[in-house]
Amino acid sequence: MNEVYGLMAVIAQAGGGQGGGGAGLAQMLPMMVIFLLIMYFMMIRPQQRKEKERIKMIEAIKSGDKVLFCGGILGIVANVKEGTFIVKIADNVKVEVARGAVMKVLEKDDKVTTEDAK
């Protein structure tokens, strides 16, 4: 993020102190384009990639998978529906949960840690 703040300072210096408006705009426009490209490659693109991976993970869930939900609930998928999962969270206790609430698919012998909640 320090690079972004440094770039913003350079942009501010390029725009200030110019007598003519045309020369200041000609110098500031390429800097703004560079700034937007940096923002895209540092923030937007990685987030899009993570979301695509998450969607693939959710689509691959099948009955019998152990999952961790956003609210911290652990359960085993009993039934897969179009927009939801029927999840067994205890003996004789099943709940219907939205697909988007899944944070992580766990292996059969995985332990849940504080890192999983992030």
- Structure confidence by residue, pLDDT tens digits, 49-78: 999 999 999 999 999 999 999 988 999 999
Helix (H) or strand (E) holding 51: helix 45-59
The rounded percent of the chain whose pLDDT value lies above 70 is 73
The rounded mean pLDDT for the chain is 83
Report whether pLDDT(118) > 70: no
What tens digit of pLDDT does each residue of 24-57 get?
A: 788 888 899 999 999 999 999 999 999 999 999 9
Q: CA-based angle 68:73:75, to the nearest 5?
A: 65
Q: Write down the pTM of the prediction.
A: 0.60
* 62-109: CATH, from 1.10.357.10, 3.40.309.10, 2.40.128.130, 2.30.30.100: 2.30.30.100
Q: Which two tokens stand for residue 37?
A: 């490209």
Residue 89: other Cβ atoms inside 10 A: 14
